[in-house]
Amino acid sequence: AAKKESKDCWRFYTEKMQIDAYEKMRLTGSLRHALERNEFSLVYQPQISATDRKLIGFEVLLRWNSPEYGNVPPMQFIPLAEQSGLINSIGMWVLRESCQFARRLSEQGGSDIRVAVNISSKQIAVDDFIVGVCNAVNAAGIDPQQLELEITESVLIQSMEDAIGKLAHLKEFGVKLSLDDFGTGFSSLTYLRQLPVETVKIDKSFIDMITSDVQGAKIIASVINMAHAINMKVVAEGVETEAQLEYLLDKDCDIIQGYIFSCPIVEAAAMKFLADHSEV
């Protein structure tokens, strides 16, 4: 079942977010055929420049509509895809489709709009990951700079040297890299500086503290300052209210992503968003 949210944003939910081992196994079984059965789709969430309110990019978010289970939230099926190894084929499909989307954006005058794709650490660990990314970019005929890969600090848990080497390779090729879900792990920004990322995304759980937790709000301000000190840009994720937006603008946050501007939208709506937010 899906619950209607404000401004036509749909949120998936199940009565119990915890699923048991048997359900996991059945879901994984369905997931195995989801790609060939065309059950996946992509939605795109605008990222807005804080200073001039211009559209600067879209984050790509995967959706699974299963005939058996309905809309399964990514928080449920992504971990199963990771555990089963299916994330590699699914992730490559997402990458190829995202590059094609970036291509269509340029054709509509959005050649400077970045398309940000979530990448699981499991994908990076695979040998032909870099080749796969380059192929997706080249097949779509886009500038590598149009593609951004969102990684999490869990890449460092795998094999740090391997991950850093591969990410450096990708950066050399020209794709952008950002650090997702910052604040939810245990690493400090100084440690994460070893990763060749140019952007850090502050997790929604921190944004939610802005109006409820004075200390939490101060942490955000200091993360923004630290990021700027090491020449990183900051994206605030899950911004929903004017009060949050005001605070983030005051603290010089660079980019805003959240329901306050738009929830994730289908391609036709994304193209309209681009047209509405282009310079005249």
Residues lying near ligand C2E in the complex (CB under 6 A) are found at 45, 61-62, 73-75, 78, 91, 94, 118-120, 150, 180-181, 204, 237-240, 257-259, 264
User: 56 Cβ partners below 8 Å, 6+ apart?
Assistant: 47, 48, 49, 113, 114, 255
153 vs 237 by CB, closer to ligand C2E? 237
Q: Calculate the alpha carbon distances from 56 to 116, 261, 278 in Å.
A: 11, 13, 10
Residues binding Mg ion (CB under 5 A): 118, 150, 180-181, 237
Pick one of ligand C2E, Mg ion, none as the site partner of residue 148 (Cβ within 5 to 8 A by kind). Answer: none
Pick one of Mg ion, ligand C2E, none as the site partner of residue 259 (Cβ within 5 to 8 A by kind). Answer: ligand C2E
DSSP tag of 265: B
88 vs 152 by CB, closer to Mg ion? 152
Pick one of ligand C2E, Mg ion, none as the site partner of residue 94 (Cβ within 5 to 8 A by kind). Answer: ligand C2E
CB of 145 to ligand C2E, least distance (A): 20
Pick one of Mg ion, ligand C2E, none as the site partner of residue 93 (Cβ within 5 to 8 A by kind). Answer: none
179 beta partners: 151, 200
DSSP structure string for 31-90: HHHHTTTT-EEEEEEEEEETTT--EEEEEEEEEEEETTTEEE-HHHHHHHHHHHTTHHHH
Pick one of ligand C2E, Mg ion, none as the site partner of residue 209 (Cβ within 5 to 8 A by kind). Answer: none
6 vs 215 by CB, closer to ligand C2E? 6
44 vs 113 by CB, closer to ligand C2E? 44
233 beta partners: 199
CB of 109 to ligand C2E, least distance (A): 25
Pick one of Mg ion, ligand C2E, none as the site partner of residue 120 (Cβ within 5 to 8 A by kind). Answer: ligand C2E
Cα–Cα distance for residue pair 78/204, rounded to 1 Å? 19
Q: Calculate the alpha carbon distances from 114 to 9, 87, 144, 187 in Å.
A: 22, 23, 10, 27
CB distance 28 to 236 below 8 Å: no
CB of 59 to Mg ion, least distance (A): 6
CB of 177 to Mg ion, least distance (A): 12
Q: Angle CA(107)–CA(112)–CA(118) in degrees, nearest 5?
A: 95
